[in-house]
């Protein structure tokens, strides 16, 4: 297994000032705080970072900050990269050589153009051949419009450059059970649906990439430890508590509620998000604060 691809990884939000600029100091503080609280690593430029709305310069700033913090803290750095264009994704992966600290790239299943599963296999096979960093597949059908089977994941897991999957299929379905019943060697299954973290850990996931873990980071870490060590009473109780938190945080499009809670708790100077996202409603913030 690629070192560091276990435990809790936090896909960092991009802090923004009230007038819409990114806030590098707040990002560095947040990155250090979640690592202080036991996270194994950071994910830079995930969906949660509102990456789609960042300029190239802003993306580089975010990466520089996360790479510096991960270097100083000896933490795992996973970098979101990729699109629904295979050759453009290969270029984006090659560009990561500028950040040698990157442990892995998080690459989505190609979205919107909905290739056949053979096309998904061809896409990742091409990337595996050309990427300078190991690849974690981001399997999130509700965002991509593309489901892939356990057989396809198993096929891709056999490629040495494909080291894991961020598994976010909206539940524990038959393919998830089939995959984890006989997990591929040297391949990390990481939970990517916050509310399903606990059941996925229970059936063998190595950890998770979870925006919710900006809050109660220590409890998320304790949850992963409890499942790993077989402390079932702690695992069940903590799992249910954190699932309630995640459900409240995802009541409106991510990361609006997380930013609002971090702001309310004094960890962010502003809860600002960029269009097309809208700020969290007062009701969603109130509900989330009850669990945070």
Ligand X SMILES: O=C(O)C1=N[C@H](C(=O)O)C[C@H](O)C1
Residue 207 C-beta: closest distance to ligand X, Å = 12
Please give the radius of gyration of the chain, using alpha carbons only, rounded to the nearest integer: 18
Between residue 172 and residue 201, which ones bind ligand X under the rule CB under 6 A?
Answer: 192, 194
Per rule CB under 6 A, is residue 136 in the interface with ligand X?
no
Q: Does 58 bind ligand X (CB under 6 A)?
A: no
Among 16, 43, 102, 223, binds ligand X (CB under 6 A): 43
Give long-range contacts, CB 8 A cutoff, 24+ apart: 118-126.
120/146, 120/148, 120/152, 121/152, 121/155, 121/156, 122/86, 123/86, 123/89, 124/156, 124/159, 124/162, 125/156, 125/159, 126/86, 126/90
| Nearest alpha carbon to residue 211 among 262, 171, 164 | 262
The one among 44, 190, 209, 248 contacting ligand X by CB under 6 A:
209
Q: Is 11 in the site for ligand X (CB under 6 A)?
A: yes
Tell me the H-state helices in 43-148.
56-73, 86-94, 117-130, 141-144
Q: Considering CB under 6 A, how many residues would be counted as binding ligand X?
A: 11
- CA 193, 222, 15, 4 torsion: positive or negative? negative
Is 209 labelled as part of a ligand binding site?
yes
User: Interface with ligand X includes 40 (CB under 6 A)?
Assistant: no
What residues numbered 225-254 form the site for ligand X, per CB under 6 A? 254
User: Is 97 labeled as ligand-binding?
Assistant: no
Catalytic residues: 138, 166
Which residues of this chain interact with ligand X, rule CB under 6 A? 11, 43, 46-48, 192, 194, 209-211, 254
The annotated binding site is made up of: 48, 209
């Amino acid at each position: 297994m690629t070192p560091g691809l276990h435990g809790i990884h936090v896909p960092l939000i991009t802090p923004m000032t009230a007038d819409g600029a990114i806030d590098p100091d707040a990002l560095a503080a947040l990155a250090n705080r979640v690592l202080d609280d036991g996270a194994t690593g950071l994910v830079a430029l995930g969906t949660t970072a509102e990456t789609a709305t960042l300029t190239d310069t802003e993306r580089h700033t975010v990466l520089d900050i996360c790479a510096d913090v991960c270097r100083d803290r000896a933490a795992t750095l996973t970098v979101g990269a990729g699109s629904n264009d295979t050759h453009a994704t290969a270029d984006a992966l090659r560009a990561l050589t500028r950040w040698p600290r990157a442990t892995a790239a998080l690459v989505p299943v190609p979205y919107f153009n909905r290739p056949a599963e053979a096309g998904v296999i061809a896409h990742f096979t091409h990337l595996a051949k050309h990427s300078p960093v190991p690849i974690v597949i981001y399997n999130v059908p509700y965002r991509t419009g593309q489901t892939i089977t356990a057989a396809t994941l198993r096929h891709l897991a056999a490629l040495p450059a494909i080291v894991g999957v961020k598994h976010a299929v909206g539940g524990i379905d038959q393919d998830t059970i089939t995959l984890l019943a006989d997990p591929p060697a040297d391949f990390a299954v990481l939970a990517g649906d916050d509310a399903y973290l606990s059941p996925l850990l229970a059936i063998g996931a190595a950890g998770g990439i979870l925006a919710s873990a900006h809050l109660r980071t220590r409890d998320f870490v304790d949850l992963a430890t409890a499942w790993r060590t077989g402390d079932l009473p702690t695992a069940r109780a903590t799992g249910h508590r954190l699932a309630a938190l995640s459900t409240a945080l995802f009541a409106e499009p991510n990361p609006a509620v997380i930013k609002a809670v971090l702001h309310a708790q004094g960890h962010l100077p502003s809860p600002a998000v960029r269009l097309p996202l809208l700020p969290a409603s007062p009701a969603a913030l109130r509900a989330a604060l009850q669990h945070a």
